[in-house]
């Protein structure tokens, strides 16, 4: 499989991408990450990008991500909000786990909010309130249990159309 080639191919598996915890607030629009490749203080940022950037891209489709290599004297992460506010995070000498925890605690939505957004009373099937749409009050019952009226069956409609064409 070609997607399993390269350094750390586990980063491209769907299970790994879905396991990411960083789901930013929708009002965060742009995230820029500044680091230097030859600087020891930037190792944590480089490792953070290597392991968590694919998860962030997968979970935050509304977020624009920019990387700037060797353009700043110290590594930092800058966030731009929808209301034109900016926030700069100094990540000089931090490990990838420290950066991840800081972003999670400060800029991510609470887990309770995330689970509420996924639940929708209009959904039906496994893990939802109703297994079938016919269980919702006001809907037509399943034809397996209660026969449909003739006017609602395709066979009756086609037969009626054929009779009209013949006459």
Residues 83 and 154 occupy one common structural domain:
no
If one counts the domains in the chain, the total is: 2
Q: Is the pLDDT of residue 2 over 70?
A: no
Q: Tell me: the pLDDT tens digits for 100-116? A: 999 999 998 776 655 55
Residues 85 and 54 occupy one common structural domain:
yes
Domain containing 85 — which CATH number? 3.40.30.10
Residue 7 gets the label, from left (phi > 0), alpha (psi -120 to 50) or beta, of beta
Q: Tell me: the pLDDT tens digits for 28-54? A: 999 999 999 999 999 999 999 999 999
Q: Tell me: the pLDDT tens digits for 70-106? A: 999 999 999 999 999 999 999 999 999 999 999 999 9
Residues 114 and 140 occupy one common structural domain:
no
* pLDDT recorded at residue 82: 93
Handedness of CA 23, 32, 64, 8 (dihedral sign): negative
Q: What is the pTM of this model?
A: 0.63
Structural domain boundaries, residue 142:
133-166
């Amino acid at each position: 499989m070609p997607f399993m080639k390269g350094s750390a191919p586990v980063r491209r598996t769907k299970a790994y991408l879905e396991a990411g915890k960083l789901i930013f607030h929708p009002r965060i629009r742009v995230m820029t990450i500044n680091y230097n490749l030859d600087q020891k203080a930037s190792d944590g940022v480089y490792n953070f990008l290597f392991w968590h950037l694919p998860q962030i891209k997968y979970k935050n489709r509304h977020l624009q991500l920019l990387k700037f290599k060797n353009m700043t004297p110290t590594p930092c992460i800058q966030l731009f909000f929808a209301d034109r506010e900016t926030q700069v995070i100094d990540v000089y000498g931090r490990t990838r786990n420290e950066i991840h925890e800081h972003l999670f605690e400060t800029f991510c939505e609470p887990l309770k909010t995330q689970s509420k957004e996924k639940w929708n009373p209009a959904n039906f099937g496994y893990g939802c309130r109703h297994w079938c749409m016919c269980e919702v009050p006001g809907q037509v019952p399943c034809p397996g249990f209660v026969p449909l009226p003739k006017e609602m069956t395709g066979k009756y409609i086609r037969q009626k159309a054929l009779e009209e064409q013949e006459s």
